[in-house]
Amino acid sequence: MHMLPRVQSVKALPEYRLELTFTSGEIGIYDCRPLLHFGVFAELQDEEYFRQVELVNGTVAWPHDQDICPDTLYAESQLVKPETAPSKG
C-alpha cells in the first residue's frame, strides 16, 4: 500500500487555515473552518489557541490532543506550487 506524504512543517494562517509542507516537498493550504463546530475541534475557534498548532509525528496537533489525520490533510489541502507563486517586485 502506498503511503501518502506526511506533514514536515506547519504554520497557522489567518481564517483558520494551515500552511503545510509535506515530505514530498509539496505545499498545501488546509482549511480548518469546516471542523470548528464539531466536538473537540470547537476549541480551535479561539484564534490564539488555533495558532498553537504544532507538528507531531507527521501530522498537526494542538495542546489538548486535537489532531487531524495526515492522509486527510494531504487529500483535502489545496496544493500550491512555490515556483508558480506570484513574484514580488
- How many separate domains does the chain show? 1
Domain assignment of residue 24, yes or no: yes
If you average pLDDT over residues 45-61, what whole number do you get? 97
Q: Which domain holds residue 30?
A: 7-84
Q: What is the pLDDT of residues 32-42, one digit of tens each?
A: 999 999 999 99
The three cell numbers of residue 76 are 483535502
d(CA 1, CA 18) in angstroms, rounded, equals 27
d(CA 19, CA 8) in angstroms, rounded, equals 11
Running DSSP on this structure, what letter comes out for residue 10?
Answer: E
CATH number of the domain encompassing residue 57 = 3.30.2020.10
If you average pLDDT over residues 25-51, what whole number do you get? 97
In this predicted structure, the answer to whether residue 86 has a pLDDT above a threshold of 70 is no
The three cell numbers of residue 27 are 505545499
Domain assignment of residue 33, yes or no: yes
In this predicted structure, the answer to whether residue 84 has a pLDDT above a threshold of 60 is no
Residue with cell 489567518: 14
At residue 2, the 3 state secondary structure works out as coil
pLDDT value of residue 85: 47
In this predicted structure, the answer to whether residue 9 has a pLDDT above a threshold of 50 is yes
